[in-house]
Chain A
């Protein structure tokens, strides 16, 4: 049974963690950072619908995927600070998280490159490990303009691989709108050309995400073939630290009406007091992680010689 309050807490953790990490970026303590603000329901919802033993590979808005897959805040923060106690011994940062123990296999910074690798994982799971696990691959709507996305989906379809494709459609690529990269109304309609099933849902509604991802994951597991779920969402932040938004404040304020946190607070009928308490709990955890990260030793990986 999925604990809805816990999922809300995860989304909140992502939101607050990104805000704190941004400060560390500005201070020069952490490097580059891509924000997930406004898209949290997707990773949190999808990972909740997966089994813990299912694999994920993902793209550049990584903090959410990491928290969603159950990685602790402390080693994540340490990772961004370049510390030996980070999940990747401090050398990967937000850009290149990987955490096989949680089956978070890799973060692909180059748009589209995660899809073929996800197909390969799915091939190995199905034909080599002979397991019932599936692979979920997250990518953006603009990634569909890149050849590797097509090649990966094509192979997965031809060879009937257990691959759940999650397209986070925020309608932008960095600082340009979809008219520059997407020739169709939706990404889902492109699935027809690969011969795989697909659907489009509201990715800012956690309950819809969990439901759609759960059904799609069930399909992938049962039929061993790819399924594409397009999650319509909103990027409420800059594309990344240091890259101001091309959209106007008004435009973003309009999108913010669809904030997945607000939706969930309403749906769960959360009181102000309950919310405050959660905010405090999460922020304490984050501050403790930052304090611990700051005093941890710098990474020495790989050892010289």
Chain B
């Protein structure tokens, strides 16, 4: 099969969706002629025109608010928020309004919109342009959250997100944009709430999120050859809904759980995943839960400090080795 990058996969999914359905339109800051700060929407203005590719002012609250409004009359807005750290500026519209509309209206209204954003940890962008903040959005019933780690998943999840009736937060990893993988031409979906075992193993389960998926696969490779430890790498792909069954089944098999994610440890996605396993499989655990995440401090700016700050394959490997004395 042909290989394309994660970025190209998202661009292709958007283009195909816009070709398929007139109701899909894009909005965001410099997403038109410039193609977006990361070039994800490159070429789409030229192809679909300014009615369907809207360059907005720097108005995160209004971008999401307007997306909500447009969705109520049947459009399918795909809005881009340049950095995940800017989400708080649109949080009110997304969490307090969009997510709850279905419930409030007794099922009459639905804010069927997609909010694409990305996180840049690893690009030396400092503490207001690097944050991976997915756990904030787990307390917003009505909102779904996708965190694709491969080009295949990115396109398939975006296709599935377009079919969702309510709002979806689609979080891209900027460090993954250039990564390549097999992606089918044409339409397919990766369903929400379905994790994928990216590598099978019997000794330990690593639930890895976004950028930490390829890191975990590298760790698994290294531990298999150096220590004979067989790591199973599970990628939830969406964290809301979370595929508890695949995670719990894996832990029942391996008896050990590590969560690897770029978000901060305290109150992060790893806490939720750990708690789920305690609820459903505590008797199977042979070792304590380990979370390999970012420390509970803001991201430092300078590249050498940032490298020290971030989780990576090596840190994950060391954490796993400790569980196999």
Contact = CB atoms under 8 A, between A and B. Distances in A.
Interface in B110-128: 123-128
B188 interface: no
Interface in A172-199: 173-176, 180-182
A176 B34 contact: yes
A31 B303 contact: yes
Given A28-B303, A82-B303, A176-B33, A147 B125 contact: no
B175 to A, nearest CB: 14
Task: Determine which residue in A31, A95, A142, A173 has the highest number of CB atoms from chain B within 10 A of its CB, and name it.
Answer: A31
Interface stretch (A11-19, A105-113, A129-137): A105-113
Contacts of A32: 123-126, 129, 301
B287 interface: no
Contacts, number: 118
A277 interface: no
Interface stretch (B55-63, B72-80, B145-153, B274-282): B55-63
A243 B301 contact: no
A96 B59 CA distance: 21
B221 interface: no
Given A174-B37, A180-B56, A299 B302 contact: yes
A9 to B, nearest CB: 27
B160 interface: no
B97 to A, nearest CB: 15
B128 A96 contact: yes
Chain B's interface: helix, strand, loop or mixed, by majority?
Answer: loop
A221 B300 CA distance: 38
B58 A181 contact: yes
B61 A82 contact: no
B58 A142 contact: yes
Interface residues of B, number: 33
B126 A110 contact: no
Interface in B60-110: 60-62, 85-86, 89
A96 B299 CA distance: 11
A146 B58 contact: yes
B125 A95 contact: yes
B305 A174 contact: no
Interface in B294-321: 297-298, 300-306
B32 interface: yes
Nearest to B123: A32
B62 A147 contact: yes
A110 B58 CA distance: 10
B29 interface: yes
A83 B61 CA distance: 36
A29 interface: yes
Task: Determine which residue in A91, A246, A298, A299 has the highest number of CB atoms from chain B within 10 A of its CB, and name it.
Answer: A91
B58 A173 contact: yes
B58 to A, nearest CB: 5
B305 A299 contact: yes
Given A174-B37, A175-B34, A246-B34, A111 B58 contact: yes
Nearest to B86: A110
B33 A91 contact: no
Nearest to A109: B128
Contact of B301 (A95, A180, A302): A95
B30 interface: yes
Nearest to B55: A180
A91 B56 contact: no
A75 to B, nearest CB: 14
B59 A246 contact: no
A118 interface: no
Contacts of A95: 125-129, 301
Interface of B: 29-30, 32-34, 37, 55-62, 85-86, 89, 123-129, 297-298, 300-306
22 contacts: A30-B124, A30-B302, A31-B125, A31-B301, A31-B303, A32-B125, A32-B126, A82-B300, A91-B305, A92-B301, A94-B126, A96-B126, A109-B129, A142-B57, A146-B89, A147-B89, A148-B89, A174-B37, A176-B29, A243-B37, A298-B304, A298-B305
Given A30-B303, A31-B302, A147-B89, 9 more contacts: A31-B124, A83-B302, A93-B126, A95-B125, A96-B126, A109-B129, A176-B32, A243-B37, A302-B297
Per CB-CB distance, the 5 closest pairs between chain A and chain B, nearest first, are A82-B302, A93-B301, A145-B57, A31-B124, A95-B126
Interface of A: 28-32, 80-83, 90-96, 109-112, 142-143, 145-148, 173-176, 180-182, 243, 246, 298-299, 302
